[in-house]
A and B are shown apart, each in its own frame.
Chain A
């Protein structure tokens, strides 16, 4: 019995008082889109099961719209994105009073044509 008490005393407190500081690293939360990396291949639009992503053609650029009122955070867009422009973070506190904040738009420059050696197309 004394061994047990000694062990308890030696181990000390292990439980945390505040274990809810952040979501686990692999939690699928808020999408992070980097428009500089996007090449406008629209793979993510095809993959999205909830039609949350859409591309629109503007005069000089493409516009990527994402609706968080539709997104189910499945992570398929992250999987299919070859230039890795879309990433899912573990950010989750996204409540809002304004419904306009549920949609985000990104400006994407024209489709980049892959360059060959010497800078020639």
Chain B
């Protein structure tokens, strides 16, 4: 069971740095979009910036505007009121519009499911690059999600 888990954070970070340079040629900027999540996944994403994980040393940063972002990280199954926010953020983002769905809700509804007020998955509204299941996913799993998204962006050419 421990084949993939045995990879350490440092190894993943170094791989991330190398891949970013290869694929983008510069650092990676992420915009976080909350589409009606319970804040569990958001806390795990914030944990990426704390001194324990410290993803900024690998050249990844969270930015305040989608205009500066290469990647959108969406948490939460899209609610009726936040559908517009997700769409407008997606339209405003710069060209590599890599969308990473973080958490079970963003992947396919999660505990909230599909209802009149909840779309149940980001992929019903905008195209999604990578799905990171988990409730919430660990920060390492989110780093793995970023790696996979960069892979997919590179393979597209």
Question: Which residues of chain A have a CB within 8 Å of any CB of chain B?
Answer: 17-18, 20-23, 29, 49-51, 67-73, 89-97, 99, 102
Contact = CB atoms under 8 A, between A and B. Distances in A.
B28 interface: no
B129 interface: yes
29 contacts: A18-B9, A22-B2, A22-B5, A29-B134, A50-B104, A50-B110, A50-B111, A51-B113, A69-B104, A69-B108, A70-B104, A70-B110, A70-B111, A71-B104, A71-B133, A90-B1, A92-B137, A92-B138, A94-B134, A95-B137, A95-B141, A95-B142, A95-B147, A96-B148, A97-B152, A99-B123, A99-B128, A102-B108, A102-B133
Nearest to B129: A97
B131 A23 contact: no
Nearest to A18: B8
B148 A97 contact: yes
Nearest to B151: A97
Nearest to A27: B138
Contact of A20 (B109, B137, B140, B145): B140
Nearest to A49: B111
A68 B132 CA distance: 10
B48 interface: no
Given A29-B134, A68-B133, 15 more contacts: A18-B8, A18-B9, A21-B6, A69-B109, A70-B108, A70-B110, A71-B133, A73-B134, A95-B130, A95-B131, A95-B144, A95-B145, A97-B129, A97-B151, A99-B128
Contact of B121 (A29, A49, A69): A69
Interface of B: 1-2, 4-10, 104, 107-111, 113, 121, 123, 128-135, 137-138, 140-142, 144-145, 147-148, 151-152
B108 A94 contact: no
